[in-house]
Chain A
Amino acid sequence: MTTASRATRILGVATLASLAVTAWLALVVSPADVNQGDAVRLLYLHAPTAWLAMYLSFGVTTLASILYLWPRTRSRLWDLVAGASAEVGVLFIGLTLAVGSIWGRTTWGVWWTWDARLTSTAVLFVLYLGYLAVRRVPADPLVRSRRAAIVALAAFIDVPIVHQAVEWWRTLHQPATIFDERRLLDPRIHGTMLWTLLLSVVAFTLLYAWLLIHRVRLARMEELVDDRELADALAERRAEGAAATSAPDEMPGLVPERSGAGVD
C-alpha cells in the first residue's frame, strides 16, 4: 500500500518544481536589499511559512473541527484532517520562529525580542502543541477526537484575545515596534522580489496540500492496520478455542496455557 496516487504524484512534482524555481529566484535572480544585504532572502522562507502556519493550517484545523462536531457532517475524515493540518501547522510555525530568529539576529542583532507579533506567534505555537498533545493521549479514539475538536475551538477563540492583549502590552509600554510592517508591504518593493515572494507563497501552499493529503492517508492506514490486527487476533483466539473443544485429548499439555491466555 502507498499513500500516493496519480494526483498526488503530479502535485508532488509541481511542488518540487515550484520550490526549485523559488530557490533559484530567491538565491540567484532577486537582488540583495539596500539595507539588509543578503539577509533579505530569508523573507522568501519566513513569510510563506508564517502565512501557511497561521492562516491556512490553523484555519483548516478549526474548520475541520467544527465539521466534526456538527452532527450532520460528522465523519472520521474531518478529525483526521484537523489533526494532520495542525501537525503541518506546528511544524511550519516552528520553522517560522526559527528562521525569524536567525533573521532577527542578522538585522536587529538579537535572537528574540518581545515584539507583539513574535509574542503572539509564540503563544500560538504553544496553544497548538497542547492540541497535538491531546490528540496523542491514550484513550478511546471517539472520546479523544471529540475532546481534541473542542480544544481546537477553545484555542481558536483565544487567538484574537491573545493578539489584542499582546498588541496593547507592547504599544502601551514602548512607542514603536521594531517590526516595520510598511517595509514588507511597501508598494515600491522591487519587482523581482515581489514575484519571488508570491511564487514562494504558492510553492509552500502546494507543499502544504501535499503534506496534508499524505498525512491524512497515513492516519487512515494506521487505523486500518489497528482494525486488521484486532480482527486477526480475535480470529486466532477463536481458532484456538475451536481446536481445544474439538480435540481436547490430543494436546493435554496446552490446556492450562490456553486457559491462562483467555480472550479479552
Chain B
Amino acid sequence: MLRDAGLVAAKDLRVELRSRVATNQVVPFAVLVLILFAFALDPDRGILGRAAAGLFWVTVLFSAVLAIQRSFAIEADDDARDSLRLSGLDGAGVFLGKAAAVALELLMLEAVLAVGVVVLYDVSLHDGALLVLVCLLATVGIAASGIVYGVVAAGLRVSDTLLPLLVLPVLAPVLLAATRASEAALATVPGDAWPWVRLLAVFATIYTVFGVVAFGPLLEEA
C-alpha cells in the first residue's frame, strides 16, 4: 500500500513539475489573494496584522480547492483514470499517494505565503516550531478530506462548482483551529494553542482513515 502510495505521489508531483500549473498559476493566485486582502482591508490601520493568521488560512483553503481540482483534472485527460483503475494499484495506496502529493504542494505554497504575510502584513514570528507543526497537521487534514471529496466530484460535469461547496464547510473546523493556533504562534493574539493542535490532529487522523476505507470503492465505480 505504501509503495503504491509512493508511486502515485511521485507520478502526480512529476506531472505538476512538468506542467508547471502549480508554480505558474496556483502560487501566483495565492499571492494575488494576499494583495487583494490588503486592498480590501486598508493596510495602514493595522487590521491586516491582527487578521494575518485568518487571511493566511483562507488563502490556503482557496488554493487547496484549486490544487485538489488539479489533482483530478490530470486523471481526466486521456482516460488516465481508467489506466489507474486497471493498474492494479491498491485503492488506499492511490488515496494516500494523491493526498501526499497535494499536501506537499500545499506545504510549499504555505512557505511562500508565510514569507508573503511577514513581508506584506508586517507580522513577526513568535514560535516557529509551533507554526510548522500547525501547518503540517492542518495540511494533512486539508489534503485528506479534499481528496475524498475530489473523487466524489470527479468525472461529473459540474465538478468545478460542486467541489468548493462540498469541501469548504467540512474544512470550517480546520480553518478555525489553524487560525487560532497560528495566532498564538505569531503572537498576534495571545492564547493557548494546544487544544487547537489536538483538534487538527484528530481531524487529520479521522479523514485519513475515512479516505483509506472509502477511496477504493469510490475509485472503482467512478
Write the residues of chain A forming the contact surface with B, with a CB cutoff of 8 angstroms.
123, 126-127, 129-130, 133-134, 137-139, 142-143, 146-147, 150-151, 153-155, 157-158, 161-162, 164-166, 168-169, 172
Q: Binding site of A, secondary structure by majority: helix, strand, loop or mixed?
A: helix
Enumerate the 8 nearest inter-chain pairs by beta-carbon distance, A residue then B residue, closest first: A165-B173, A126-B169, A130-B166, A165-B176, A161-B173, A127-B169, A147-B152, A130-B165
Q: Which residues of A contact B177 (CB under 8 A)?
A: 165
Residues of A within 8 A of B207 (CB): 154
Question: When the two chains form their complex, are residues B162 and A137 in contact, meaning their CB atoms are under 8 A apart?
Answer: yes
Contact segment of B27-35, B77-85, B194-202: B194-202
Cβ of B170 and Cβ of A155 under 8 Å apart? yes
- Nearest to A151 among chain B residues (CB) is B152
A162 to B175, CA, bound (A): 10
Give the docked Cα–Cα distance between A194 and B206 (Å). 40
In the complex, are the beta carbons of B196 and A137 less than 8 A apart? no
In angstroms, Cα B145 to Cα A133, docked, is: 18
User: Which A residues are CB-close (under 8 A) to B217?
Assistant: 146
B169 and A123 contacting across the interface, CB-CB below 8 Å = yes
Q: Chain B residues near A127 (CB, 8 Å)?
A: 169-170
Q: Which residues of A contact B199 (CB under 8 A)?
A: 161, 164-165, 168
User: In this assembly, does B46 line the interface, its C-beta being within 8 Å of a C-beta of chain A?
Assistant: no
A137 pairs with B158, CB closer than 8 A: yes
Question: What are the residues of chain B within 8 A of A161 when measuring CB–CB?
Answer: 173, 199, 202-203, 206
Given contacts A130-B165, A161-B199, A164-B199, 5 further A-B contacts (CB under 8 A): A137-B162, A146-B218, A153-B210, A162-B172, A172-B192
Q: Is the CB of B221 within 8 A of A133?
A: no
Contact in complex: B166, A133 (CB < 8 Å): yes
What is the count of residue pairs linking A and B with beta-carbon distances less than 8 angstroms? Answer: 81
Instruction: Determine whether the beta carbon of B176 is less than 8 Å from that of A169.
Output: yes
Q: Beyond A150-B218, A168-B195, is A157–B210 a contact (Cβ under 8 Å)?
A: yes
> In chain B between 26 and 51, which residues have their CB closer than 8 angstroms to a CB of chain A?
none
Residues of B within 8 A of A138 (CB): 156-158
**Cα of A142 to Cα of B220 in the assembled complex, Å:** 13
Question: For the complex, what is the distance from the CA of A157 to the CA of B172, rounded to whole Å?
Answer: 13
Beyond A154-B145, A165-B176, A172-B180, whether A129 also contacts B165 by CB under 8 A is: yes
Question: Which of B145, B170, B195, B221 counts the most A-chain CB atoms under 10 A from its CB?
Answer: B170
Taking the closest CB of chain A, its distance from the CB of B196, in whole angstroms, is 7
| A146 cross-chain contacts in B, Cβ below 8 A | 217-218, 221
CB distance from A124 to the nearest CB of B (A): 9
> What does the 1/0 interface line of B160-184 toward A look like (CB < 8 Å)?
0010011001101100110010000
Q: Which residues of A contact B149 (CB under 8 A)?
A: 151, 154
27 A-B pairs with CB atoms under 8 Å apart are A123-B172, A127-B170, A130-B165, A134-B166, A137-B156, A137-B157, A137-B158, A138-B156, A138-B157, A139-B156, A142-B221, A143-B221, A147-B152, A147-B218, A150-B148, A150-B214, A154-B148, A154-B210, A157-B206, A162-B172, A164-B199, A165-B172, A165-B177, A168-B195, A168-B199, A172-B192, A172-B195
Partner of B170 from A143, A158, A169 at Cβ < 8 Å: A158
B17 located at the interface, meaning its Cβ lies under 8 Å from any Cβ of chain A in the complex = no
| Shortest Cβ distance from residue B175 to the other chain A in the assembled complex, whole angstroms | 9
Chain B residue at minimum C-beta to C-beta distance from A148: B152
Contacts of A123 in B (CB 8 A): 169, 172
**Whose C-beta in chain B lies nearest to the C-beta of A164?**
B199
Most central of B176, B177, B195, B217 by chain A CB within 10 Å: B176
